[in-house]
């Protein structure tokens, strides 16, 4: 969504200016995190005003022809420049990650709200004035490195905290539970969900026989299946996903007191998802959609933010829970242990280069720091081996020396050698204890160094699984019961889509029978959709609660969101020559509210407005764009513009599709005819009135008559005055005579993300 309009250019100019300021501040290291300063010192180089050289530094005079014996003779092996270029090129690719191969990342910082020293001695949680540098990689799980972004899949949410006491990696997902309870099963899980071994199909999805064969035989995966069939696996933006540590970890304070802790990331913009048809279409139209959205928001200075939440459980209390805190298929409802939000993370810088930063980044749940320890969760335990093991294979023995993985604090140890070793350690003593090195590096004191929490270990060697890991359905039921009817409909739709792609009917039947243990009604409807036998109602079904909690509203995206901002929302404005002044008024108000207005038209180049006194250069043309790029759509007035729009099928299809995808739509003055032309079956405004019907805002007799910059300024000013449009939060009904009523209604509807009550009506729109 590179924004090529004048606004966009304006923004990039402002941005270039910001970058220039950043550059100066950078040179002076002002406002830079230690990590950025370190990267600038040890790795980042700028090729501007430089001479081309070989990798051994020899200035190169030509790169167009190899050295040959005669102009038409054979290439000479002595052409070291040829060999230098070709040999390195031949080895550019490293193995992709065995899972989570497709990902995007950004730099930023974390800041705690107040010291947590009573709970933990971990460095990021001590000093509220301290900005701890972070690097965050967001990924899908199943697809290969080049797969599409908006597939239905779990999202990885891996955060590397560069602290003064070493790197801490919180390597989580956007789903708080997992498929399996013990890591030993991970290779089977990944083989089942990945493309099938005989034909390497499908890419980037679980809708195939192997996956459903595996999970339908593995009741412990039922809770996770409910989560992945919910809208959480089709996110609208990486900026709008939760993050969860999944496992139970330990917080250990300076007195060595340990408490169990679960980690949560809550996006400031709220959790928002596509609807399935939108995600499918976007995967085809723009495989880089989520990567581009993250990149552009940061380039535009609209920095994504998450609050970090913790659920703390006294070790003595853990056994009172009706499920095992070491079982990663279980979630602790907020009703039982509230989430305390303790700090905020802001991502404010894109990588300078993808490969050395994002591709070579190694996240490892075993990268722990004093004050944070693991639990005996058997899923986590296995991960403590796998991540470094796979990094040695994928990146190399000395991966932690690579700039992106290197801690910002000093590293001193007796590790030596290994491929591509960077560090040169002076002195002869490369062992501990030593006297020839003055006993250095010396051991840290218990108060300074890492001390594993001496958790009691009870029992004999066994591969038996604890009985407390057994209940696979209560939480799956609690999750389903926490959904709104709209969300339940989406879960049924997702199971139906996925299992209708499973050719083995026995697997379909098995899944229906398994889900009968979660919700009878769901399994009966699914059986009907899949053409298999509907199961009998099973006994356990309706009763069980989780410690008295039958449903947790926090699990429902629709129930738990605040809908108080349109920050970072993309609004498509459909103009043709002759559009009226409502365009600038709306653009001003949207910009004031932190949204991104983007114009599109039939052709590129400046488009004159009705007064002919000002023009707008569209960001996109109708044929090179789609409504799936936008969160909301606007059709302005202007006789000539609307007459042309009514004849422009690509534009009409986009608007109808936006209606089908439950987006807020506004149309004013003559623009209302477009809504009527598309027979969207909604009530529209009479003369000099505003109407809102199924999230379609129409108005007649509106517009300041002021075009161009003046009109926009008026819109921004009005917006700021009425408070109906502020970056912080939208004041429903706020319209103290500032912003036009239709704009306020439009913005309130955009803030709702989707017009869920339109779902039934929209399903009748044929496009
Ligand atoms: Fe991973 N996981 N995983 N995983 N995982 C990897 O490490 C593994 C699990 C997660 O952006 C791999 O560097 C095992 C749960 C993320 O670079 C590998 C088990 C959760 C990422 C690996 C799990 C995750 C990975 C592959 C079962 C959520 C991407 C490439 C026990 C809490 C990190 C790599 C990045 C990556 C192993 C289960 C999250 C193979 C053995 C549960 C976010 O090491």
Tens digits of residue pLDDT in 656-684? 999 999 999 999 999 999 999 998 999 99
Q: Which of 374, 378, 377, 368 has the alpha carbon at shortest distance from 453?
A: 374
The closest-lying atom of ligand 1 relative to the alpha carbon of residue 189 is: 27
Measured distance CA(19)–CA(295) in Å, rounded: 15
**Ligand 1, from 139, 363, 376: best to mutate by most atoms within 8 Å of Cβ?**
363
Tens digits of residue pLDDT in 467-510? 999 999 999 999 999 999 999 999 999 999 999 999 999 999 99
Tens digits of residue pLDDT in 385-412? 999 999 999 999 999 999 999 999 999 9
393 is catalytic: no
Measured distance CA(632)–CA(344) in Å, rounded: 29
Catalytic residue among 40, 47, 107, 173: 173
Measured distance CA(106)–CA(346) in Å, rounded: 10
**Ligand 1, from 94, 105, 171: best to mutate by most atoms within 8 Å of Cβ?**
171
Asked if residue 563 belongs to a known ligand binding site, the reply is no
Determine whether the shortest distance from the Cβ of 240 to ligand 1 is under 6 A. Answer: no
pLDDT at 27 over 60: no
Going from the Cα of 99 to the center of ligand 1, the distance in angstroms, rounded, reads 7
pLDDT at 219 over 80: yes
pLDDT at 756 over 90: yes
Measured distance CA(744)–CA(741) in Å, rounded: 5
**Residues facing residue 672 across a β-bridge:** none
pLDDT for 2: 43
**Ligand 1, from 183, 383, 389, 394: best to mutate by most atoms within 8 Å of Cβ?**
383
264 is catalytic: no
Determine whether the shortest distance from the Cβ of 186 to ligand 1 is under 6 A. Answer: yes
Q: Whose CA is nearest to atom 25 of ligand 1?
A: 100
Tens digits of residue pLDDT in 521-550? 999 999 999 999 999 987 655 555 666 777
Q: Whose CA is nearest to atom 30 of ligand 1?
A: 97
Residue 144 banded pLDDT, cuts 50, 70, 90: very high
- The predicted model scores a pTM of 0.94
Contact partners, residue 622, CB within 8 Å, separation at least 6: 574, 600, 601, 602, 648, 650, 651, 654
Which domains occur in the chain, in start order?
Answer: 103-189+239-401 (2.40.180.10), 412-444 (no CATH), 570-705+738-764 (3.40.50.880)
In this structure, are residues 730 and 748 in contact, taking their beta carbons and an 8 Å threshold?
yes
The fraction of the chain above a pLDDT of 70, given in percent, is 90
Q: At residue 492, what are phi and psi to the nearest 5 degrees?
A: -60, -45
pLDDT at 732 over 50: no
pLDDT at 734 over 50: no
pLDDT mean across residues, the chain: 92
Residue 713 banded pLDDT, cuts 50, 70, 90: confident
């Amino acid at each position: 969504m590179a924004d090529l309009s004048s606004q966009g250019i304006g923004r990039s100019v402002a941005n270039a200016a910001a970058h220039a300021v950043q550059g100066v501040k950078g040179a002076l290291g002002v406002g830079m995190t230690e990590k950025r300063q370190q990267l600038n010192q040890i790795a980042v180089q700028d090729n501007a005003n430089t001479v081309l050289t070989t990798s051994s530094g020899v200035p190169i005079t030509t790169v167009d022809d190899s050295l040959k014996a005669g102009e038409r003779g054979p290439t000479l092996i002595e052409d070291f420049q040829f060999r230098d270029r070709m040999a390195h090129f031949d080895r550019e690719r490293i193995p992709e990650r065995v899972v989570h191969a497709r990902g995007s990342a950004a730099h930023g910082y974390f800041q705690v709200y107040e010291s947590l020293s009573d709970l933990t001695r971990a460095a990021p949680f001590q000093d509220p004035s301290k900005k701890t540098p972070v690097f965050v990689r967001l990924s899908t799980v199943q697809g290969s490195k080049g797969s599409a972004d908006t597939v239905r899949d779990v999202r990885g949410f891996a955060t590397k905290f560069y602290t003064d006491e070493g790197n801490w990696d919180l390597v989580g997902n956007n789903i708080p539970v997992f498929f399996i309870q013990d890591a030993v099963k991970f290779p089977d899980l990944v083989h089942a969900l990945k493309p099938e071994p005989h034909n390497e199909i499908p890419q980037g999805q679980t809708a195939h026989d192997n996956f459903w064969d595996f999970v339908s035989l593995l009741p412990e995966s039922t809770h996770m299946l409910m989560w992945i069939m919910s809208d959480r696996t089709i996110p609208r933006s990486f900026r709008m996903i939760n993050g969860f540590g999944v496992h139970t970890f330990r917080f250990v304070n300076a007195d060595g007191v340990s408490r169990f802790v679960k980690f949560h990331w809550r996006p400031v913009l709220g959790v928002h998802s596509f609807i399935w048809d939108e995600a499918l279409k976007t995967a085809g139209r723009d495989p880089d959609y989520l990567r581009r959205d993250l990149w552009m928001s940061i380039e535009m200075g609209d920095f994504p933010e998450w609050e970090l939440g913790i659920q703390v459980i006294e070790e003595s209390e853990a056994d009172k829970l009706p499920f095992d805190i070491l079982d990663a298929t279980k979630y602790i409802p907020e009703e039982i242990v509230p989430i305390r939000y303790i700090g905020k993370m802001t991502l404010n810088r894109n990588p300078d280069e993808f490969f050395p930063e994002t591709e070579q980044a190694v996240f490892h749940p075993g990268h722990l720091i004093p004050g944070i320890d693991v639990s005996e969760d058997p899923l986590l335990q296995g991960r403590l081996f796998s991540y470094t093991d796979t990094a040695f294979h994928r990146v190399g023995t000395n991966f932690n020396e690579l700039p992106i993985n290197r801690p910002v604090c000093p590293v001193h140890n007796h590790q030596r050698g290994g491929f591509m070793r960077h560090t040169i350690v002076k002195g002869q003593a490369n062992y501990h204890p030593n006297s020839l090195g003055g006993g250095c590096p010396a051991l840290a004191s218990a108060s300074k160094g890492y001390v594993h929490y001496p958790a009691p270990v009870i029992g004999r060697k066994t591969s038996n699984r604890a009985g407390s890991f057994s209940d696979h359905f209560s939480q799956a039921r609690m999750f389903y019961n926490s959904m709104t009817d709209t969300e339940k409909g989406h879960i049924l739709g997702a199971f139906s889509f996925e299992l209708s792609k499973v050719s083995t009917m026995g697997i379909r039947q098995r899944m229906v029978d398994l889900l009968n243990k979660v919700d009878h009604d769901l399994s009966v409807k699914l059986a009907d959709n899949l053409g298999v036998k509907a199961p009998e109602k099973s006994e356990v079904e309706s009763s069980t609660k989780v410690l008295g909690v039958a449903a947790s509203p926090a699990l429902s995206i629709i129930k738990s969101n605040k809908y108080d901002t349109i920050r970072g929302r993309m609004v498509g404005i459909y103009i043709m020559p002759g559009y009226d002044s409502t365009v600038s008024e709306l653009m001003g108000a949207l910009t004031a509210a932190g949204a991104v207005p983007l114009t599109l038209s039939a052709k590129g180049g400046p488009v004159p407005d009705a007064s002919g006194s000002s023009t707008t250069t569209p960001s996109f043309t109708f044929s090179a764009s789609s409504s799936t790029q936008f969160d909301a759509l606007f059709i302005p007035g202007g006789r000539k513009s609307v007459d042309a729009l009514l004849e422009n099928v690509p534009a009409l299809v986009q608007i109808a599709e936006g209606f089908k995808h439950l987006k807020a739509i506004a149309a004013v003055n003559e623009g209302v005819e477009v809504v009527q032309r598309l027979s969207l079956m909604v009530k529209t405004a009479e003369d000099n009135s505003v109407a809102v019907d199924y999230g379609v805002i129409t108005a007649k007799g509106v517009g300041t008559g002021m075009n161009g910059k003046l009109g926009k300024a008026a819109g921004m000013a009005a917006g700021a005055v009425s408070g109906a449009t502020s970056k912080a939060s939208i004041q429903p009904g706020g319209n103290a005579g500032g912003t036009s009523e239709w704009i306020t209604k439009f913005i309130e509807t955009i803030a709702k993300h989707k017009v869920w009550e339109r779902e039934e009506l929209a399903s009748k729109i044929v496009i």
